[in-house]
Amino acid sequence: MEAPLQQLHSPLLDKRGIALWVKREDLLHPTISGNKWRKLKYNLQEAKRLRHDTLLTFGGAYSNHIAAVAAAGQEFGFRTIGIIRGEEHLPLNPTLEFATAAGMALHYVSREAYRQKTDVDFLEQLSQQFAQPYIIPEGGTNALALKGCTEIVSDIPMEYDYICCACGTGGTLAGIIAGLEGKRQVLGFPALKGGGFLEKEIEQLIESYNGQHFANWRLITDYHFGGYAKVKPELLNFMRDFQIEHQLPVEPIYTGKLLYGLMDLIQKGHFPRGSRVIAVHTGGLQGNAGFRERLGIEV
């Protein structure tokens, strides 16, 4: 499995004197793609070591993480249970249809109950109910996930000045920061409105992982397009043109927003001439089918 670097070429990049590569984490695995593979790698090893036969995790109805855990369970011999936020809707959307086809048992909980997903008593109740499964947090973010995500940077065989990544829970960005150990500059692009709150969470993730604090990173919070899983016409237009120009598939939740924001910053002269920039494609392309179904728009 490889995540090659794809260099982009455009008049804008030439004009600004910027060299830009996309790290194609989406190509790591056909169904456990991108940062989900990185986050699950060491969690799966730990589950095996502890002799668990079942993985339990949490997500919304369109969650990339739910789809990836289901696929991982099918491939590596685990039963899987998905605790899904909200009520069941039939027929299942493409994400949950994929998960059930991969063998995942879905259990729906109210939004109120779902908010307890990190509560010790709630987790113990689930452990008793489902015969002591290996529990993976929503989005897959924990210390073992950070360990996996540090390998994103150890897998880059070239010199560069900046590395950029979209943020959901902040785990992938925290792993990248930890892996760089204070070298180079890191930019995170939250997919959520008001994503500045992630700064403290990312700092805590890194500290709990290796006890370190780093100052070579910042969050760019201007490109959420209204909030998580929300889009605007200018984003969809950008994605269409980008995919045609570079023959590189993207999705609107994470990587589409990252690339829009990155190109906008380049246009505005944010990066010094001669900068070498890497954008991490975190996968999640499975979500495009559900996005088309839910909003009736092409992505």
Domains of the chain: 5-32+142-295 (3.40.50.1100), 35-140 (3.40.50.1100)
Residues 176-200: pLDDT tens digits?
999 999 999 999 999 999 999 999 9
Residue 178 · residue 146 · CB < 8 Å: yes
State CA 237 to chain mean position distance: 22
Predicted pLDDT at 28: 94
Which residues, 6+ apart, have CB-to-CB distance to 76 below 8 Å?
44, 48
- Confidence (pLDDT) at 292: 67
For 175, other C-beta atoms within 10 Å of its C-beta total 29
Q: Which helix (H) or strand (E) holds 262?
A: helix 255-267
Angle at 145 between CA 142 and CA 147, to 5 degrees: 115
User: What is the 8-class DSSP label of residue 86?
Assistant: S
**C-alpha 82, offset from chain centre:** 18
Residue with tokens 């939004």: 111
pLDDT under 50: residue ranges of the chain: none
